[in-house]
Amino acid sequence: MKLFNYIFALGSAALLFSACESNLDKVVYNSNTAKPAVLQTLKQNSYVLNQDNMQDGAFTITWSKPNVGYQAEVTSALQMDLDGKNFANAITLSSTKTDSTYTPTVGELNNKILSMLDNYNMDLTPVKLAFRVISTISNASDTLVSNVVNTTVTPYSAEKDYPKIYVIGDYCGWNWDNTQHLFSFNSDATYQGIIDFGTKAANGFKISGQAAWVDAVNWGLDSKAIAPTSEASSIQLIASGGSGNIQAYSKRFYRFTYNTSSLVLKKDLSFTTLSIVGDAGSEVSGWGAKEVDMNFDPKTQRFYADVDLSNGEIKFRIDHAWDTAFGSKTDGLLDSGDNIKVTAGKYRIYVNINNPNNMTYKLSTKDYGK
């Protein structure tokens, strides 16, 4: 009986080893039989992007998932570059383990194309784009490369003329030619923007619908009402030639929202400095040990700074503190999200936070040092 049990145990072990060996055979990656993703041709040969539709989907890119012959964790990255560049400076639009479609918004795609044109030192022009999917397998060193599909896209300039109203005050010498503005980004009664008062915000300002003193659109304080508190979050204004100056604020930068129907002025942001912080080189290091304060151009309402970066990550923050900071979940667009990955290079970095619904950033090698 002992001999039989011993033989039976040996037989079982051999069968188990054989089964394991068979299972291992099934999961060996074979580069000769693995099939990459297949991109479908886009529905149109060309697309024109419209800034008025920046939140809409530009188009949908669809691909079949790669087939490696067994159940494996596969990560597929959708890449974009200019046609003919052999994906030398490819931009990754999406990286996924599950999805097989991607729909960039008009604004997102436009920002990526503008960044790409900057990298190639090209002016704004219709561009023929190339797309492909690169798939990596968890337990294999190979990458699978899909076919390439093309389409031509006409981007729009990031600059646009919006309806505007005037912020006039001591900061500009009460001179209409030197005023800064709030803008209606949706062409409605809501106007928003960043105003740089320097050191003179507390000296007073008013808001006007025209570059002239017209009573019907001369917005200021009601002298009969209780004076607003310092740094008030909102102030009720009146339209009158006798309205008073607004003197409730004392910092340098303010992002205001003003409604020309309700005549309510709201303070969205108030700060003295916007800076670049991170771990991307000697100028921007230690997540606050060294950071670069940004300049402000009131004509474009953009902050900017020239920086020499190494590979790393950055964010933008207000007044050298983490109470208000901006990262990015989507390339080119700012939110309160992730750190922004950067590659080594000399950049002029632009930040635009005047429109809270479309805050943007841009890294330009072409503009560095200008």
Out of 247, 271, 295, a domain closes at 271
Place of tokens 């023929």: 128
Would strands 101-102 and 61-64 be described as parallel, antiparallel, or unpaired? Answer: antiparallel
Please write the tens of the pLDDT for every residue from 31-48. Answer: 777 889 999 999 999 999
3-class DSSP assignment, residue 150: strand
Average pLDDT for residues 277-283, to the nearest whole number?
97
Residues 286 and 259 in one domain: no
Place of tokens 């009402």: 225
Average pLDDT for residues 253-269, to the nearest whole number?
98
Average pLDDT for residues 85-114, to the nearest whole number?
90
- Is 28 inside a domain boundary? no
Question: Which of 3-7, 49-53, 177-181, 182-186 is predicted with the least confidence, judged by mean pLDDT?
Answer: 3-7
Residue, of 178 and 11, whose pLDDT is higher: 178
Over the chain, what is the mean pLDDT? 89
User: What six digits make up the tokens of 68?
Assistant: 């490696």
Is 267 within 8 Å of 191 (Cβ atoms)? no
Domain that holds residue 254: 164-271
Cα 348 to the center of its chain, rounded Å: 16
- Is 14 inside a domain boundary? no
Asked if the model's pLDDT at residue 26 lies above 80, the reply is no
- Is 174 inside a domain boundary? yes
Q: What is the dihedral of CA 143, 147, 151, 152, to 10 degrees?
A: 60
Average pLDDT for residues 266-279, to the nearest whole number?
98
When mean pLDDT is compared over 112-116, 137-141, 149-153, the highest value belongs to 149-153
Asked if the model's pLDDT at residue 279 lies above 70, the reply is yes
Residues 138 and 190 in one domain: no
Residue 117 pLDDT level (bands cut at 50, 70, 90) = confident
- Is 33 inside a domain boundary? no
- Is 186 inside a domain boundary? yes
- Is 262 inside a domain boundary? yes
What is residue 289's predicted lDDT score, i.e. its pLDDT? 96
Residues 170 and 262 in one domain: yes
Q: How many domains does the chain have?
A: 3
Please write the tens of the pLDDT for every residue from 193-247. Answer: 999 999 999 999 999 999 999 999 999 999 999 999 999 999 999 999 999 999 9
340 beta partners:
314
Residues 169 and 221 in one domain: yes
User: What six digits make up the tokens of 184?
Assistant: 């209606």
Residues 310 and 234 in one domain: no
Cα 193 to Cα 185: distance, rounded to the nearest angstrom: 10
Asked if the model's pLDDT at residue 333 lies above 80, the reply is yes
Is 50 within 8 Å of 106 (Cβ atoms)? yes
Residues 266 and 278 in one domain: no
User: What six digits make up the tokens of 349?
Assistant: 């970095």
Asked if the model's pLDDT at residue 275 lies above 90, the reply is yes
Is 193 within 8 Å of 354 (Cβ atoms)? yes
Provide the b/e sequence for 3-33 (b: ≥16 CB within 10 Å): eeeeeeeeeeeeeeeeeeeeeeeeeebeeee
DSSP conformational letter for 189 = S
The pTM score is 0.68
What is residue 14's predicted lDDT score, i.e. its pLDDT? 47
DSSP conformational letter for 41 = P
Provide the b/e sequence for 279-315 (b: ≥16 CB within 10 Å): bbbebbbebeeebbebebeeeebbbbbbbebeebbbb
- Is 2 inside a domain boundary? no
Out of 97, 128, 154, a domain closes at 154
Helical H segments across the chain, by residue range: 2-26, 106-119
DSSP conformational letter for 344 = S
Out of 271, 291, 318, a domain closes at 271
What is residue 2's predicted lDDT score, i.e. its pLDDT? 45
Residue 52 pLDDT level (bands cut at 50, 70, 90) = confident
Residues 77 and 126 in one domain: yes
